[in-house]
Amino acid sequence: MRFTIRARLTLLYFVVLAASFVAFFWICDLGFRRAIEITVNDASRTNLEIVQRVLSLCASKGTPKIRKELEELSGLWANGAIFQVSQADGSWLFRSTRFPLAQSLLPAPPPDGVAFFTTNLDYEQYRIAQKTVLMEGQLLHISAAVPTEPFDQALDRFRLFEKRFLPLLVVLASFLGYWLSGRALAPVNRIIESAEQIGLQNLSQRLEVPRAADELQRLTVTLNAMLERIESSVKRIRQFTANASHDLRTPLSLIHTHAELALRRTRSETEYRESLARVLTISEETTQLVESLLALARADAGAAHLHFTEMDLTPLLHKVAHQVSLLAHAKGLSFSARLLTETLFVHGDSAALESLLLAILDNAVKYTPPGGSVRLRSFAAPEKIVVEVEDTGVGIAAEDLTRIFDRFYRADQARSREVPGSGLGLSIAQWIAETHKGRIKVESQLGVGSLFRVVLPLAATLAGSPENSQLLDSQATVS
């Protein structure tokens, strides 16, 4: 069975308060009984001392005189206090008429000091103080008793009060607990109601932050911050979808147009070939775009599909250097690579790191006009490896530098020069660098060139100084 927080709080109040009230009344009862005991003990002891004083005053005056004095004393006592004085042989010197218990039936008084006990005398409860005294060479036992009934009645009345009020108090306290927890949870319910109103259509709406600086204020501030993040993610997803559909529609309509134009009338074989070649190029670019989109979708789903191993980066660097040198040569660029030859262990996914390096090198070739140069360099720094790609290309304007890693972002230079691309390459490259605990830095000057620096943490290196670098390939022919 599931209880609401309010029900649980009320139950807690009920249990805690019931236990507290029971404990409180129990302690009161205990205190009351102790106070009664002290009071009746004092009363009976005082009476006993009075009897002793009277006895000592008239001890030498003979038994009849003593009896007379004690008789008078007994007449003076009110409130049902009684006493008796007996001799060592058990015979009475004096006893109040309502003191029906023979001395022999009472516990033996202690040889010194006062003893107390409670007993029933003539259907009434009495507290008795007993003492043995030596008077005129004679041992006398004095017993003074006070009725405990008035005190017992007070205790009974208190217990009756307890019995009547305890359940009432507990019930009242539970209602109070129910009301208090309702009041305490009211802001939570308001937060729930407001949160229920927020959906994809009104993601910019925020929860009202309570003024009191308490946990609920923290909760709403945290929820608002979470909504902020969700809103910006949704915005990015919407932007991404819009950009992706736009970028996919463009090549599709181009393919459509080329095919339509080719079919409009009968054409020569060369013309058909040209049209088909254009369609092929566009579809290759589209495949590239779809692959990039897929890579980003996987990146968004997390790095689970990557297979991290302790891998040597050196062969990979040599491999990409070779591939890019062919591209650069084909475009008429000079390409040089100064790479370390030693083993450079990184903890990474080989295919992902290859994509990262190729994305940056590919850009360097793409955005460098024929006649320019591209340089690849690798060197080891303490606990990391640095790969630098430098070109003498179109460069990137300062205002674009912070945005080139955004999805679909292409600087004006790239667009105006109609360099093919989707604006996704660097986003993917940056994601790969980050999942490898590395980073990409860029320095660039418009019209002069760019320098991309990839820094990756090194798992272990056997050697690595720039002097050990090897010139892989130097000049590429300029067309």
Contacts to ligand ADP by CB under 6 A: 359, 363-364, 367, 391, 393-396, 404, 409-411, 413-414, 421-427, 450
Shortest distance in whole angstroms from residue 258 CB to ligand ADP: 22
| φ, ψ dihedrals at 345, nearest 5° | -80, 130
Q: Among residues 353 and 394, whose Cβ is nearest to ligand ADP?
A: 394
What 3-state class would DSSP assign to 476? coil
Shortest distance in whole angstroms from residue 333 CB to ligand ADP: 12
User: What letter does residue 468 receive in the DSSP assignment?
Assistant: G
Q: Nearest-CA neighbor of 339 among 297, 378, 282? A: 378
Shortest distance in whole angstroms from residue 238 CB to ligand ADP: 20
Q: Among residues 241 and 416, whose Cβ is nearest to ligand ADP?
A: 416
Q: Among residues 286 and 427, whose Cβ is nearest to ligand ADP?
A: 427
**Half-sphere exposure for 323 (CA within 13 Å, toward CB):** 14
In one letter, which amino acid is 157? R
Residue appearing with tokens 């667009």: 415
Q: Nearest-CA neighbor of 80 among 65, 63, 55, 99? A: 99
Dmax over CA atoms of the chain, in Å, equals 164
Shortest distance in whole angstroms from residue 422 CB to ligand ADP: 5
Tokens standing for 8? 């649980």
Shortest distance in whole angstroms from residue 409 CB to ligand ADP: 6
Q: Among residues 316 and 374, whose Cβ is nearest to ligand ADP?
A: 374
Q: Among residues 51 and 394, whose Cβ is nearest to ligand ADP?
A: 394
Q: Among residues 327 and 414, whose Cβ is nearest to ligand ADP?
A: 414
Shortest distance in whole angstroms from residue 400 CB to ligand ADP: 7
Q: Nearest-CA neighbor of 222 among 191, 197, 246, 198? A: 191
User: Strand 82-87 relative to strand 92-95: parallel, antiparallel, unpaired?
Assistant: antiparallel
Q: Among residues 93 and 411, whose Cβ is nearest to ligand ADP?
A: 411
Q: Distances from the Cα of 307 to the Cαs of 85, 292, 335, in angstroms?
A: 106, 19, 31
Would you tell me how many other CB atoms lie within 10 Å of the CB of residue 455? 18
Q: Among residues 194 and 283, whose Cβ is nearest to ligand ADP?
A: 283
User: Strand 344-348 relative to strand 124-135: parallel, antiparallel, unpaired?
Assistant: unpaired
Residue appearing with tokens 């709080």: 9
Shortest distance in whole angstroms from residue 250 CB to ligand ADP: 14
What 3-state class would DSSP assign to 96? coil
Shortest distance in whole angstroms from residue 243 CB to ligand ADP: 12
| C-alpha–C-alpha distance, residues 135 and 137, integer Å | 5
| C-alpha–C-alpha distance, residues 348 and 244, integer Å | 29
CB proximity list for 134: less than 8 A, separation 6 or greater: 140
Shortest distance in whole angstroms from residue 340 CB to ligand ADP: 23
Name the residue with the smallest CB distance to ligand ADP.
Answer: 421
Residue appearing with tokens 């181009």: 254
Would you tell me how many other CB atoms lie within 10 Å of the CB of residue 447? 11
What 3-state class would DSSP assign to 339? strand
Shortest distance in whole angstroms from residue 414 CB to ligand ADP: 3
Q: Among residues 329 and 410, whose Cβ is nearest to ligand ADP?
A: 410
Q: Among residues 162 and 400, whose Cβ is nearest to ligand ADP?
A: 400
Q: Please, what sign has the CA dihedral across residues 36, 39, 41, 47?
A: negative
Q: Among residues 303 and 446, whose Cβ is nearest to ligand ADP?
A: 446
Shortest distance in whole angstroms from residue 394 CB to ligand ADP: 5
In one letter, which amino acid is 236? R
| φ, ψ dihedrals at 260, nearest 5° | -65, -45
